Amino acid sequence: MASPVPVVRIAPSPTGDPHVGTAYVALFNRCVARRGGGRFLLRIEDTDRTRYDASSEGKIFEALRWLGLTYDEGPDVGGPNGPYRQSERTALYREMAETLLAKGAAYRCFCTEARLEELRATQRAMKLPPGYDGYCRRLTPDEARKHLAEGRPYVVRMIVPKEGETSFTDDLRGVVRFENRTIDDQVLLKSDGFPTYHLANVVDDHAMEVTWVIRAEEWITSTPKHVLLYRAFGWDEPRWTHLPLLRNADKSKISKRKNPTSLIWYRDQGFLPEGLLNFLALMGYSLPDGREKFTLADLEATFDITRVSVTGPVFDLEKLKWLNGEWIRGLSDDDLAARLVAHHVRRAAAPTPEDATHPVLTWMARHPGADAAFASIVRRSAPLVKERIRTLEEYGEIAACFFHDGLPTYPAADLVAKKRTPAESRDALVAVRARVAAAEFRAPALEAALRALADETGWKPGDLFTPVRTAVTGAKISPPLFETMELLGRDTTLARLDHAIAALSA
RNA sequence: GCGCCCAUCGUCCAGAGGCCUAGGACGCCAGCCUUUCAAGCUGGUAACACGGGUUCGAAUCCCGUUGGGCGUACCA
């Protein structure tokens, strides 16, 4: 049964934005495939026509590509076991449903939605466990034939034995048992002709030679139904592993309302694919040596699925930001700059209302076509901000001083040094202006000049730099002052100092 | 309600009977460094849910309780 080469898959539904949980499950699946020298495939489970979202599939491809979670087979990359879209495989499911019908492992159910609802209401009222009552299972062949001839809509349900139990072995939890009487006669083929997950999943995994099902924990309760289907078809069961569910802070299954779940959000927020992936791996997994920062390749090289923990991890955005910051600090200046440029170019292509005040995006809007100038500013500022940002998006806050076209605005009070009067601060700025004007415009020279000034006037360096910082950057928090002045250049720096002096003279 | 899964610091993990006076990381607090903010470095805060067993010995094994989660759809 245990195939030497694992064939695994992820099977997301195209019902909205690509979900962080999809990436999470994809990550572990891919690790298993890579480690075992096997194959990893992507199958689109688009059998729910009411929730189908045409734009979703492409976004799933894009998000997985962004993360580097590439697959060996899939709708967009092809493969020998296609098509990889379930809506294109409906003939197969119908055929397989017929097979089950012929084997006496399934039956047609003509119950209407109304009857089912009534049944559920009754069961609820009588505090009975919900579930199909098997009405159509007891139909005589003649009755069934008659209904069919009348063209009454029907679904195909699987026949679950009333006695005994069905169990399976989960890699992380051992044997899991279910009494058959607690398992419902699951619908396999819907009245619209599309299969339910249960049928399609089993049929496709078998057809696509999947040997190992690694999916989220929410599927555990459905697994005995799948086991029963494999048996009804006479097929070998795959190996089963159920991964823990990512959680909100309140421990409930991660959801849009309580936590960002869209992979697109994480990308637009400026998380690096390496950082997100690394963080996801930390949710339930750890390397034996305890190292927390590692690459996908590191993970794949040593991955051991038995090390995955089974408790549902709370998704902690703060730790993600820290880890992403670690990744950013580990980037070369060139790489960081390239990513910052790409990030802002993409952001600019799809602006949001809040972006109207974004320092970087508004600069780009004011300077159309100034790609080279933009890239230059970003490249030169990258080393100054590298230790100060945890996401690419945070660049805009700390680097705003490089993107003012005119003069920066700020409260004049910010120009006043600690324990000094506005007049004293103005005089200090006048002196600073003179030294700066005379200095070579390089950070070390500028710093030396102003430190000398502080020394001569009896100011503490830090106190003297405060008004200068506000004047030059327009903010109390900024990249290192002298490097910033050098980057801004003599003209801009002097203009800003003059503006500050004027503000304090008013 | 019923079924199934789970249970170590606020959070993420380590711990596979003695190495645990329970270790690391994020966060938080304090100090150092320091031109702001960061980064970096030091130190601190903080947990084995509870009760029974088993054992010479249990965070680690078993049972129960409690708590949380998931499932209970012609959704996946």
Of the pLDDT bands very low, low, confident and very high (cuts 50, 70, 90), residue A505 is confident
Q: Are residues A207 and A261 in the same domain?
A: no
> Strand B positions with any atom < 7 Å from protein CB?
1-8, 10-15, 23-27, 35-40, 68-76
Residue from A72, A73, A5, A60 nearest A38 by CA: A5
A112 and A56 in a single domain? The answer is: no
Residues A293 and A388 in one domain: no
Domain co-membership, A265 together with A154: no
The answer to whether residue A1 sits within a structural domain is no
**A83 within domain boundaries:** no
Residues A386-438 have pLDDT tens digits of 999 999 999 999 999 999 998 999 999 999 998 899 999 999 999 999 999 99
Question: For the whole model, what pTM was predicted?
Answer: 0.96
CATH of the domain at A269: 3.40.50.620
Give dist(CA A429, CA A443) in Å, integer. 18
> Which of these is catalytic: A146, A251, A256, A460?
A256
* Region A274-298 average pLDDT: 97
Question: Mean of the pLDDT values across residues A441-466?
Answer: 96
Give percent of chain A above pLDDT 90.
Answer: 96
Nucleotide in closest CA–C1' contact with A284: B13
- Measure the CA–CA gap between A161 and A141, rounded to whole angstroms: 19
| Containing structural domain, residue A177 | 89-243
Decide if A293 is catalytic: no
- From A371, A403, A435, the end of a domain falls on A403
Q: Check whether residue A123 and residue A217 sit in a common domain.
A: yes
User: What is the signed CA dihedral for A10, A80, A91, A5, rounded to 10 degrees?
Assistant: -50
Which residue's CA shows the smallest distance to C1' of B23? Answer: A290
- Asked if A158 and A212 sit in the same domain, the reply is yes
A238 with A94, same domain?
Answer: yes
CA to C1' distance (Å), from A25 to B66: 31
β-bridge partners, A85? A44
Question: Is A428 found in the same domain as A483?
Answer: yes
Q: How many domains, in total, are found in chain A?
A: 4
CA of A286 to C1' of B4 (A): 26
| Token output for A79 | 């493969």
Residue A27, domain member (yes or no)? yes
Q: Same domain for A380 and A277? A: no
Checking if the pLDDT of A76 tops 90, the result is yes
pLDDT band at A128 (very low <50, low <70, confident <90, very high): confident
Instruction: Count the Cβ atoms, other than its own, within 10 Å of residue A138.
Output: 9
| Domain-terminating residue out of A243, A261, A277 | A243
Residues A101 and A220 in one domain: yes
Type of residue numbered A6? P
Mean pLDDT, chain A, rounded, equals: 96
Q: In Å, what is the separation between the CA of A96 and the C1' of B18?
A: 57
Q: Where are the alpha helices (DSSP H) in A330-460?
A: 333-349, 359-366, 371-385, 395-398, 422-438, 443-457
Tell me, yes or no, whether A95 and A215 share the same domain: yes
Same-domain status, A390 and A488: no
* Whole-number Cα distances in Å, A104 to A80, A194, A204: 32, 20, 21
* CA to C1' distance (Å), from A16 to B37: 39
